[in-house]
């Protein structure tokens, strides 16, 4: 986390109240920390990836960064301004700076609205009154995402997965934001379409000097487009570094496990990933998280001391790397 961070998360926590049967009678309210004390700094102009499996909290973190939800603790800072609790007018003007593309391209489009109406919404909310002005802008945006102009009168049902995603991207760019948060931008798409969307995203980034935060579980995507990456597990960040650093020398045991599980397509690439097995362990309880390292139950490199100590803090190593592991950062 450096001074030059453009988009920053400061000790951000997002907790959800959960009701369940407590001891004795009645329901007990417990707190589920989907994102637990996360601090990240994203630099302007970079592509920052957030990787994790289901339950890691990556989608929640994306929503926090883009101010779709509000943090329970901590704050989100964009270009020097705290945006954690913006609402109303502030929120609308915030959308000129940062936008989000949600996970399911089809579900993100209102089936009863045409593509033109869908893209027009942010324009209308920003005060663009003239219908002709909006139509012009919509045509520009469609062209930018390589869709023909007459798509404006189409309904989402007649679009393919890749085309739907392009509409989502066009809508996100309508207000010319500086940063885009993308939640699994290619996961729902066919392989050949994924490649095209990634290429489109990188072209747009270059043309418009954008900053990307990409949430994904697909390391191939990370390798293809990301500069730096944060690995999340159980609501916490366990490792941060450049993509090269992480692939060449992953430090956290979970990162190693994640990389080793990638199904390799080309034999020549097998040497690039570590060979390591996660332990078959029970996942820690979300409601009653352990004080010690949350990866302990599945960690192939664990030691007795890992059980005795608190969850390891995220410690900065050389060259901008950060790792949260007692075995790496040394004795207490």
Partner 1 sequence: MTVTALELVEQPEAAPARKTGFRRRFARFARNRLALGGAICLLALVAVAVLAPWIVPYPDDVADSLNFDAVLQPPSLAHPMGTDEVGRDVLTRVMAGAQWSLSMAAIVLAIAVTIGVPLGLCAGYYGGPLEQVLMRITDGFSAVPALVLALAITVLLGPSLVNAMIAIGFVWWRSFARIAHGQTLSKKQETYVTVAKSLGASDLHIMFREILPNISSPLLVSISLNAGYAVLTGTALSFLGAGARPPTPEWGQMVASGRNYLPDAWWASLFPGLAIFVTVVSFNLLGDGLRDYFSDE
Partner 2 sequence: MPDSLSYAQVAAQAPVVSLNGLRIDFRTTDGVEQIIKDVTLRIDPGEIVGLVGESGCGKSVTAKLLLGILPMPPAVVKDGRIEMFGRNLATLSDAEREAMKKFVAYVPQDPSAVLNPSFTIASQMIDMIVWYESDRRLLTYFRKRHTRAIVARARDHAAHLLEKVYIADPEQVLRRYPIQLSGGMRQRVLLAMALSGSPQLMIADEPTTALDVTVQKRTIELLKDLVEREGLAGLYITHDLGVARDICARTYVMYAGMTVEDGPTGPLLDSPLHPYTRGLVEAIPSLEGGLPGAIPGQVPDYLAPPPGCRFAPRCPGASERCRSTPPRREAGTRRQVACWLYDGVHA
Site stretch for partner 1 (CB under 8 A), options 19-27, 30-38, 41-49, 150-158: 150-158
Q: Which of 232, 229, 269, 262 is nearest to 246 (CA)?
A: 229
**Does residue 257 bind partner 2 (CB under 8 A)?**
yes
**Does residue 85 bind partner 1 (CB under 8 A)?**
no
**Does residue 276 bind partner 2 (CB under 8 A)?**
no
Which two tokens mark 313? 């803090």
Which residue number, 178 or 257, has a Cβ lying nearer to partner 2? 257
Q: How far is the CB of 46 from partner 1 (least distance, A)?
A: 21
**Does residue 267 bind partner 2 (CB under 8 A)?**
yes
Which of 24, 265, 319, 331 is the binder for partner 2 (CB under 8 A)? Answer: 265
**Does residue 150 bind partner 2 (CB under 8 A)?**
no
Query: Any idea how long the chain is?
Result: 332
First to last CA, the chain: 23
**Residue 191 contacts by C-beta under 8 Å, 6 or more apart in sequence?**
none
**Does residue 262 bind partner 2 (CB under 8 A)?**
yes
- The CA distance from 229 to 321, in Å, is 10
Q: How far is the CB of 221 from partner 2 (least distance, A)?
A: 6
**Does residue 153 bind partner 1 (CB under 8 A)?**
no
Which of 80, 263, 304, 330 is the binder for partner 2 (CB under 8 A)? Answer: 263
Q: Which residue has the tokens 């997965």?
A: 161
Site stretch for partner 2 (CB under 8 A), options 64-72, 277-285, 300-308, 324-332: 277-285
DSSP line for 162-226: HHHHHHHHHHHHTT--SEEEEESSSTTS-HHHHHHHHHHHHHHHHHHT-EEEEEES-HHHHHHH-
Q: What mask of x and - would describe binding to partner 2 in positions 26 to 65, judged by CB under 8 A? A: ---------------------------xx-----------
Which residue number, 126 or 261, has a Cβ lying nearer to partner 2? 261
- The CA distance from 260 to 61, in Å, is 25
CB atoms within 10 A of CB 235: 25
Which residue number, 161 or 289, has a Cβ lying nearer to partner 2? 161
Name beta bridge partners: 213: 48, 181
Burial state string for 67-89 with b = 16 or more CB within 10 A and e = fewer than 16? bebebbebebbbeeeebbebeee
**Residue 260 contacts by C-beta under 8 Å, 6 or more apart in sequence?**
273, 274, 275, 276, 277
**Does residue 195 bind partner 2 (CB under 8 A)?**
yes
Distance of CA 40 to the CA centre of its chain: 12
Q: Judge contact between 214 and 225, C-beta under 8 A.
A: yes
Which of 166, 228, 252, 298 is the binder for partner 1 (CB under 8 A)? Answer: 166
**Does residue 84 bind partner 1 (CB under 8 A)?**
no
* Contacting residues toward partner 1, per CB under 8 A: 66-68, 88, 91-92, 95, 100, 102-104, 107-113, 121-122, 125, 146-148, 150-151, 158, 160, 162-163, 166, 171, 195-196, 198-200, 203
Contacting positions for partner 2 (CB under 8 A): 53-54, 160-161, 190-192, 194-196, 198-199, 202, 217, 219-221, 223-225, 243, 247, 257-258, 260-269, 272-273, 278, 280, 283
């Amino acid at each position: 986390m450096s001074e030059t961070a453009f988009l920053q998360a400061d000790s951000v926590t997002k907790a959800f109240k959960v009701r369940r049967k407590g001891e004795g009678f009645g329901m007990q309210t417990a707190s589920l920390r989907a994102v637990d004390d996360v601090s990240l700094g994203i630099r302007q102009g970079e592509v920052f990836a957030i990787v994790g499996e289901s339950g890691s909290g990556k989608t929640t973190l994306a929503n926090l960064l883009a101010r779709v939800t509000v943090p329970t603790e901590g704050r989100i800072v964009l270009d020097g301004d705290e945006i954690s609790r913006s609402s109303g007018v502030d929120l609308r003007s915030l959308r000129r700076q940062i936008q989000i593309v949600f996970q399911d391209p089809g579900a993100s489009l209102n089936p009863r609205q045409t593509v033109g109406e869908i893209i027009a919404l942010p324009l209308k909310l920003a005060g663009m009154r003239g219908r002709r002005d909006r139509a012009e802008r919509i045509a520009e945006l469609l062209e930018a995402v390589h869709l023909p102009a007459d798509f404006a009168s189409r309904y989402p049902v007649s679009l393919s997965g890749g085309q739907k995603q392009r509409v989502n991207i066009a809508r996100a760019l309508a207000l010319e934001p500086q940063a885009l948060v993308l939640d699994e931008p290619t996961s729902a798409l066919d392989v050949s379409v994924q490649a095209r969307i990634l290429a489109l995203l990188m072209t747009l980034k270059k043309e418009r000097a954008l900053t990307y935060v990409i949430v994904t579980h697909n390391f191939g995507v990370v390798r293809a487009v990301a500069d730096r990456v944060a690995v999340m597990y159980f609501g916490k960040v366990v490792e941060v570094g450049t993509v090269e650093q992480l692939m060449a020398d992953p430090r956290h045991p979970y990162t190693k496990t994640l990389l080793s599980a990638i199904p390799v397509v080309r034999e020549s690439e097998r040497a690039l990933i570590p060979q390591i097995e996660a332990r078959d362990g029970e996942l820690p309880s979300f409601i009653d998280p352990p004080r010690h390292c949350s990866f302990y139950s599945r960690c192939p490199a664990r030691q007795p001391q890992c059980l005795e100590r608190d969850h390891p803090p995220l410690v900065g190593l050389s060259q901008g790397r950060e790792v949260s592991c007692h075995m790496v950062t040394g004795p207490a």
